[in-house]
Amino acid sequence: MAASVVNKTAHPFDKARLEALLNRRFFYAPAFEIYGGVAGLYDYGPPGSSLQANIIAEWRKHFIIEEGMLELDTTIMTPAPVFETSGHVARFADWMVKDTKTGDVLRADHLVGGVLEARLAGDKEARGLAAAPLFDDKKKKKKNAKAAAVKLDDEVVKDYETILAQACQPFPCKSMID
């Protein structure tokens, strides 16, 4: 039997048509759709539930049986007092910025930190010193900022290092027992 050839250019992919088909066949639908829906929450119909069960079964087969990992099943919802006690409500009001060219959305403090680190690395390179890699964690797929090798004034270097040191300090977390 001859292998069939797939012509990938015959029918260009149309995301809107695929979503309409999946919705029509009730693979999924936005949760609470008759009340206006809730972003990010979905209800699965019979084919969607079956597909989800098959994906979970394959995941379990690989990670739990073959890799010997342990499975956890935790709650989906988190009560508001947990976020308040952990400092998420009071502490986390992160400013976000959007790159107008690429559309990437970044935390402003991460953007500033990346720029300062790149400038400090460029300063070390200009001074003939070996600059440490900006991101040594290979799992993080962040874009490394690259700065030209420009020697900075010593005072500017100290300012950048002070700002980075302050930005990287962990915040105190209140105890849930208190």
Q: pTM, whole model, 2 decimals?
A: 0.42
Amino acid 41 reads L
Measured between alpha carbons, how far is residue 174 from residues 12, 78, 84, 144, 170 in Å?
Answer: 54, 17, 9, 34, 13
Measured between alpha carbons, how far is residue 11 from residues 6, 8, 17, 46, 117 in Å?
Answer: 11, 7, 12, 28, 46
Amino acid 137 reads D
Strands 42-44 and 28-30: antiparallel
Cβ contact 30:37 at 8 Å: yes
pLDDT in tens, the chain (178 residues): 567 887 777 778 899 999 999 999 999 998 998 888 888 889 999 999 999 999 999 999 999 999 999 999 888 888 888 888 888 888 777 778 888 888 888 888 788 888 888 888 888 888 888 655 555 454 444 555 556 677 788 888 888 788 777 765 554 444 334 3
Q: What's the pLDDT score for residue 21?
A: 94
As a whole number of angstroms, the distance between CA 84 and CA 88 comes to 6
Q: Which of 125, 131, 132 is nearest to 151 (CA)?
A: 125
